[in-house]
Amino acid sequence: MPCREHRLLRLRVKGLAQDNGLKTMTFQALAQIVVSGLLMGLIYALIAAGLSLIFGLMDVVNFAHGEFLMMAMYAMFGLVLALAVDPVLLMPIVAGLMFALGAIVYLGVVRHAMRAKVNAGMVQVFATFGLAIVLRGLAQLFFTPDFRSIPNTWLGGKTLNLGGIFLPWPQLFGGAVSIAAFVGLYLLISRTDFGRALAATREDAGAVALVGIDRNKVFTIGWGLGAGLVGLAGSVMAIFFYIHPDVGGPFALTAYVTVALGGFGSIFGALAAGVIIGLIEAITATILPTEMKSLGIYAAYLAVVFVRPRGLFGNI
C-alpha cells in the first residue's frame, strides 16, 4: 500500500515490453489479451450453458451449479486414474455420468421443491444450496481435500505459439468444445421433436400436458442435458485446472452473471455473454489493478441490465 503512486504509474506502461520495439510488442500484448480473454470467455460460456438451459426451461436457478462442475472434474480425475485413458476420450463418459446426476437431482430434489406454493423460487434456491453443501462434503469424504490435477495428458501444458501469441491447447480445445456444444444445443432445440417439446414446455407447462407431452419427462431430460453440458465443461477444465471440493465457487458466480447478462432463456445469449465477460475481464485486468478485474464484469452486467432489463438477448 505505501507504493500506490508507483503502482499507478506502472499501470500505464503495463503490457509494454521493456527491451523490444514498442509498437510490435504492444500489438502482440494486445492480441494476447484479446485471444486469452476470448478463450476464457468460451469456457465461461460452456460452464454457463447448462445453467442457461435449465433456467430457460423451468425458471429454476441451480445453486449447486459450481458443485456440478466440481463433480464433473472429480469424475474425470477418477476415470483417468482408473482407466489410464486420456481425458479427451473420456469426455463422453463424464458427460453421460453427469446426465444421470442431473436427472437424479431433478427427480430427487428439484421436482419436490417445485411443489412449493409460496416462493417456489426461493425454495429451489435453498434446496439446491443444501445439495451444494452435501456434494462438497461428499467430495471431501471420498477424495480428501487434497488438491488434485491430472498429469501427462495429450493437451495439458502444450501451447501453440502463433508469432508470439500463445494459445494453450487445452483452452483451444475447450473453446472448440464450447462452440460445438452450443451448435449442438441449437440444433437440438430447433430441429428435433424433443427440442420442440422443450420449447413448448417452457412456454406453458400446463398446456403441454393436454397435447400429451409428459412435463416431468421433459424436465428430467432437461436437467440431464444441463448437467451433461457441465460435464463437458468439467472435462475440459480438469485438463488445465486443479481439482478440489471448493473449486466450483468462483466459476458458479461468473456463470450466474453470464446467464443473466446474456438474458434468461436465451442459449445464444449465454454464448455471447460468456465471450463478452472473458474479454472484459482480460481488458479490465490491464486497466485496473489486477485484483479488481471482476469489477469490469460486474459493471458490464449492471450497465447492460439498466439499459436492457432483460439482458442482451433475454425473453423472460
Residues 115-134 touching another protein, rule: CB under 8 A, are 115-123, 125-127, 129-134
Q: How far is the CB of 200 from another protein (least distance, A)?
A: 22
The interface with another protein within residues 176-235 (CB under 8 A) comprises none
Q: How far is the CB of 113 from another protein (least distance, A)?
A: 6
- Do residues 276 and 99 lie in contact, with contact meaning Cβ atoms separated by under 8 Å? no
Among 251, 273, 275, 313, binds another protein (CB under 8 A): 251
Q: Does 290 bind another protein (CB under 8 A)?
A: yes
Q: Which stretch binds another protein (CB under 8 A): 181-189, 195-203, 227-235, 293-301?
A: 293-301
The interface with another protein within residues 70-99 (CB under 8 A) comprises none
Q: Which stretch binds another protein (CB under 8 A): 77-85, 175-183, 205-213, 299-307?
A: 299-307
The interface with another protein within residues 31-50 (CB under 8 A) comprises 32-33, 36-37, 40, 44
Backbone angles phi, psi at 35, to 5 degrees: -65, -45
The interface with another protein within residues 142-171 (CB under 8 A) comprises 144-149, 151, 157, 159, 161, 166, 168, 171
Backbone angles phi, psi at 246, to 5 degrees: -100, 15
Q: Which stretch binds another protein (CB under 8 A): 1-9, 77-85, 96-104, 216-224?
A: 1-9
Q: Does 29 bind another protein (CB under 8 A)?
A: yes
The interface with another protein within residues 267-286 (CB under 8 A) comprises 281-282, 285-286
- Do residues 230 and 98 lie in contact, with contact meaning Cβ atoms separated by under 8 Å? yes
